[in-house]
Chain A
Amino acid sequence: MSISSSFVGRRYRLAYPYEVSQAKITEFSRALGCLPGEENEPNPIAPPTMAAVIAAQAWELFFADAEADIALSRTIHGDQRFEFNAPLQAGDRILAVLEVEAVRARTAMEIITVRVDLHRLPAGVAGTAAPDDAVDPPGAIVARSWSTLVHRRPSTEEAA
């Protein structure tokens, strides 16, 4: 089996939340060159595109699905879109859920659109070791990320 339109609607849900730390916000802000001066208070709000760092954890689940038979090394990121409802802040516990929205076959590739919803878990709600991918985690969606991935099918040589 390999990736096809039959994957549309499949979901991949993290078992445990990603905990946003002040240290990661500082590290990520510095990596984008947008940290206020050293004399400033640390910024408690993450740069908006830090949502992609958490979304990437759900991508890993998708790429690890042996049935999909896809590889990050054969994938080009074509388009990216974010919707932001609330900023990521230190202390947030975020559960990412990926859903395959579209798979279009081309001659030697598939064009795959995935959406990742970032749910902010309410205080006191734990993760679950065996998440039900079909069920939405509790908590508001703070950000959504849509990505269009151009996936080159392995040649018969590579597949062998």
Chain B
Amino acid sequence: MSDPRLMSPDADLAVGVALPEFHARLTRSDLVRYAGASTDFNPIHYSDHAAAALGLPGVIAHGLLTMGVALRAVTEWIGDPQRVRGYSAHFARPVVVPDDDAGVTLVVTGSVASQTDDTALIDLNVTCDEVAVLTRVVVEVAR
């Protein structure tokens, strides 16, 4: 926390301000829970043989689970999800989740890239095992 750019979000979301690095672990259990909550029951998100049949390296996380979890890096920083006005991402690489207790860890970093009169655009880096899984990730937040 000695990074001088790590400031409270109350500091007007000035361009260049970085948000705290955010970590979230995903296990198979989280995928099953998200499948139920979202009603997205595509078997590539829980079945090894269904994933293999599509040529995937393993069971993969729902893209919108990855997006939803990554957004927490911003909402927990600014403290109010209602301030999120927009959110976009490119699904660059699948997040392969092994069937073990450790699962995988998403790492989210980012900083304020630009401002308008009433919003700030925050660019995020979302990686898993140091590979960018989401790219072109932008969150628009009301100031």
Chain A residues in contact with chain B, CB under 8 A? Answer: 24, 27-28, 30-34, 45, 47-49, 52-53, 56, 72-73, 76-85, 87
B61 nearest CB across to chain A (Å): 12
In the complex, are the beta carbons of B90 and A78 less than 8 A apart?
Answer: yes
CB pairs A–B below 8 angstroms (8 shown): A31-B38, A48-B71, A49-B64, A53-B37, A56-B39, A78-B90, A79-B88, A79-B136
Whether B86 and A72, one on each chain, are in contact in the complex, defined by CB atoms closer than 8 angstroms, is: no
Closest residue to B50 on the A side, CB-wise?
Answer: A73
Partner of B71, one of A27, A49, A78: A49
Q: Are A49 and B24 in contact (CB under 8 A)?
A: no
Describe B's contact surface by its main secondary structure.
Answer: helix
Q: How far is the CB of A18 from chain B (nearest CB, A)?
A: 11
Residue in B37, B85, B136 whose beta carbon sits within 8 Å of that of A84 in the complex: B85
Establish whether residues A34 and B72, one from each chain, have CB atoms under 8 Å apart when the complex forms: yes
Q: Kindly state the separation between the CA atoms of A80 and B76 in the bound complex, as whole angstroms.
A: 21
Is B65 a contact partner of A80 (Cβ separation < 8 A)? no
Is the Cβ of A47 less than 8 Å from the Cβ of B38?
Answer: no
